[in-house]
Amino acid sequence: ETATAFGSLMSDMWLGKFDCVSPEDFFSVLGKQYQTFRKRTQQDAQEFLICVLNELHEALKKVRTQLSSTRCITNVKASRGNVRETSIITQLFEGQLSYGITCLECKTTTDRPESFTVLSLPIPSKSSCSLQDCLKCFFKQDTLTQTNQIHCSCCGTKQDAAVKGTVTKAPQIIIFHLKRFEWQGGRRRKLSTAVSYPLSNLDLSPYSSPLPGKEAEYSLSAVVNHTGFLDDGHYTAFCKHSLTQTWYSFDDAQITKIPNCPVQTNTAYLLFY
């Protein structure tokens, strides 16, 4: 039902029969799956995006099963680990991270893989910074101590550890979520930091292993902006037409053609490359 409603929405948008299109039907279908979105209050765009991607993946996934030639039940159970679920969503948006965890006592390193569809990046400055600054902050080495110690299988006890993440598989489309909030006195506060980001040639090779080729360089294709406060504000979007390379601003029912310059704003919340 979710995929059908989404397909209808995309058809209405691309056929060009209307000046603007309402996503009300799609929103209503998604609200049946997620009670949060039934409310007529502001919800987080990143959380909404993840829910949409998950629902579309579940609806569109293709299950590839590799079973042993025998039909023995035990063999079937043993082979279930080879079942791989893929969809157009995972093919486009899913990447892989690997976290290298090094015990600071015996220097043993273990790798922990993790898939992602959205990278939530910290904003390291309150005044201004770049997307590269956010990426450096995300991928910098951290040290786990005290209550965050890891259990080292070689030492047999909990030990301090160093953790560093790298991109082992870059997705075709990478989505960055700028974490525009901080905790202050037990309450969340919005960060209005001006984050500069490139329109083209975004290079992920400094954070990748093994070093990728040209496919790790990305061009910006869309921006979701948020103005206002954490619990009360307004979302708009900038999107680049894939054929004409022209940028458009989407603000409710108002769609306007814009030059490249206004695409760079200090209200950017989600970046699509």
**Integer CA distances (angstroms), 62 to 66, 69, 81, 86, 160, in order:** 13, 21, 16, 5, 42
Residue 107 is which amino acid?
K
pLDDT in tens, 89-100: 999 999 999 999
Question: Residue 260, exposed/middle/buried by CB under 10 A (0-12, 13-18, 19+)?
Answer: middle
Residue 35 predicted with pLDDT over 90 = no
Within 8 A by CB and 6+ apart from 91, the residues are: 172
Highest mean pLDDT among 99-103, 210-214, 230-234: 99-103
For residues 85 and 87, give the distance between their C-alpha atoms in angstroms, rounded to a whole number.
7
pLDDT on residue 85: 79
Under 8 Å CB-to-CB from 234, ≥6 apart: which residues?
Answer: 226, 227, 228
Q: How does residue 122 score in pLDDT terms, banded at 50, 70 and 90?
A: very high
Segment (H or E) for 92? helix 88-93
Quote the CA–CA distance of 60 and 87 in Å, as a whole number.
6
Q: How far apart are CA 185 and CA 248, in angstroms?
A: 39
Among 9-18, 56-65, 95-104, 252-261, the least confident range? 56-65
Separation of alpha carbons 230 and 191, rounded Å:
9
% of the chain at pLDDT higher than 90: 66
CB neighbours of residue 158 within 10 Å: 16
Q: Which pLDDT does position 29 carry in this prediction? A: 92
Point out the least confidently predicted range of 96-100, 150-154, 188-192.
Answer: 188-192
Among the listed residues 74, 76, 50, the one whose alpha carbon sits nearest the alpha carbon of residue 65: 76
**pLDDT for the residue numbered 167:** 96
- What sections of 94-148 are H helices per DSSP? 131-139
Domains of the chain with CATH codes: 1-93 (no CATH), 116-140+171-273 (3.90.70.10)
Convert 32-90 into a string of H (helix), E (strand) and C (coil). HHCHHHHCCCCCCHHHHHHHHHHHHHHHHCEEECCCCCCCCHHHHHHHHHHCEEECHHH
* Side chain identity, residue 223: V
* Mean pLDDT value of segment 144-160: 95
Cβ pair 238, 245 in contact under 8 A = no
Confidence of residue 183 (pLDDT cuts 50, 70, 90): confident
Residue 96 is which amino acid?
Q
pLDDT at residue 64 greater than cutoff 70: no
3-state secondary structure of 144: strand
212: Cα within 13 Å, side-chain hemisphere: 19
| β-bridge partners, 213 | none
Which pLDDT score is estimated for 265?
92
Average pLDDT, the chain: 88
The whole-number pLDDT of residue 129 equals: 96
User: What integer is the mean pLDDT of 69-74?
Assistant: 46
Q: What is the mean pLDDT of residues 167-171?
A: 95
CB 116 within 8 A of CB 94: yes
**Residue 78 banded pLDDT, cuts 50, 70, 90:** very low
> How does residue 271 score in pLDDT terms, banded at 50, 70 and 90?
very high
Cβ-contact 271, 220 below 8 angstroms: yes
More confident residue, 143 or 2: 143
Average pLDDT over residues 133-146: 96
Given a contact cutoff of 8 angstroms between Cβ atoms, the answer to whether 196 and 261 are in contact is: no
Give the residue, 67 or 81, on which the prediction is more confident: 81
How confident is residue 86, by pLDDT bands cut at 50, 70 and 90?
confident
Residues 208-235, mean pLDDT to the nearest whole number: 85
